[in-house]
Each structure stands twice: as structure tokens, then as C-alpha cells.
Amino acid sequence: MTERSMLLALFDDVDPAADAIEKLRTMGIGDEQMTVISGIPVLEKFLGRPSVWTNVPRLALGGAVVGFLAGMFFAYGTPTMYPLNVGGQGLFAGPPAIVVIFELTMLGLLASTFLGVFLDSYFPSYQPKEYVTEVSDGKIAVLFSCPVEMESGISKAMTALGAEAVKPAEAQQL
């Protein structure tokens, strides 16, 4: 297996960073070997990166279904198990049942969405993270792994595409 090194390219704007990511792909660097670090949220499609799929919508839908079933149980199951006839009224009251079902559906949806986001973001993370001080100043950093023998060619290509600096990267812990 060839020896690899980590390089960091700094860009002023999104467009040169997107061009650099495309150039890295043509040079044989895969998406799984690249990380984009930005101080502002940038959509994947702006950078030409593959979309990140998440399980949060499925978890939210599951939580809503569980909440709906709990609401149905409290609105209709409880009066069925413990019937209480009052003054000739029906056993089931429609408007209060709608409120209970709605509230428990939303409670299940919100709780499972929070839990899904919490789990999907791998929080807490005990692994070292990349931190680049220039990103705090509004720059966009592209961190990538490449074979050592390709370092100089990739560095020249990144500089030609508008990178301010291309330097070896080290994980910094703050």
C-alpha cells in the first residue's frame, strides 16, 4: 500500500473550492478522502459533492406513528377499558380525542427527531477533529489525503485553481 499524506488547501470563495474538488476527483482522489471545512454552511450540491443521506426522517416518521398510536390508545382505548357513562352522553368525545391524538403525535415526532439528530451527529465525539484557524476568518478549507508521490502535482494544480495555500495538515486539538 502506498504511503499517503494529508494536505490542506485554503480558498477565499466557494467557486474555486468547487473547481478544486472536481480537479481532485479527476486526479484520482475519491470523495471519501476529502473533507470540506467551512465556517458557514455550504450545501453539498454547491461544491459538487454527493448528498449526505440521513436516517432522521425515518426516525421522525416512526416517532409520529408511535405518538399517533399512543394518542389513539388514550383517546379510545382507555374509555373502552374503563367505560364511564355520564348523563346519556356517548362513550367517546370527538373534539378532545382529536386534541389528544394531535398532541401525542407531535410529541412523538419532536422527541424522535431530536433523538435522531443527536445520534446522527455522532454526539459526543471523542475523535480528534480538524480545526483550521483561517476558516474562522471566512475561508473554505479542503482537507484531502493523497499519495506522497502526487503531492507536488496536486499542490500546483490547487494553486492554479486559486488556493491561497496548500500545506501539510495535522489534526489540531483545542
Taking the alpha carbons at both ends of the chain, their separation in whole angstroms is 32
Beta bridge partners of 141: 10, 37
Q: What pLDDT shows up at residue 152?
A: 86
Q: What pLDDT shows up at residue 125?
A: 66
Taking each helix axis from N to C end, the angle separating 14-26 and 151-160, rounded to the nearest 10 degrees, works out to 150
Number of domains, the chain: 2
- Domain span at residue 154 reads 4-52+129-168
- 48, 10, 23, 44: CA torsion to nearest 10: -10
- Structure confidence by residue, pLDDT tens digits, 4-55: 888 888 888 888 888 888 888 888 888 888 888 887 777 676 676 767 778 8
Beta bridge partners of 146: 5
Looking at the structure, do residues 109 and 24 belong to the same domain, yes or no? no
The rounded distance, in Å, linking the Cα atoms of 156 and 162 is 10
- Most confident residue range from 23-37, 93-107, 118-132, 147-161: 93-107
Region 161-166 average pLDDT: 85
Give the Cβ contact number of residue 103 at 10 Å. Answer: 13
Q: What pLDDT shows up at residue 129?
A: 63
**pLDDT of residue 172 exceeding 80:** no
Looking at the structure, do residues 101 and 136 belong to the same domain, yes or no? no
Pairing of strands 140-147, 34-38: antiparallel
Count each helix (H run) and each strand (E run) in the chain, helices first: 6, 4
Whether residue 124 has a cis bond before it, omega within 30° of 0: yes
Q: What pLDDT shows up at residue 173?
A: 43
Which percentage of the chain shows pLDDT scores above 70? Answer: 88
Domain edge (last residue) among 120, 138, 158: 120
pTM of the model: 0.60
**pLDDT of residue 126 exceeding 60:** yes
Looking at the structure, do residues 69 and 114 belong to the same domain, yes or no? yes
Q: What pLDDT shows up at residue 174?
A: 44
Taking each helix axis from N to C end, the angle separating 56-72 and 94-120, rounded to the nearest 10 degrees, works out to 150
In a domain, 174, yes or no: no
The rounded distance, in Å, linking the Cα atoms of 39 and 165 is 17
Looking at the structure, do residues 78 and 108 belong to the same domain, yes or no? yes
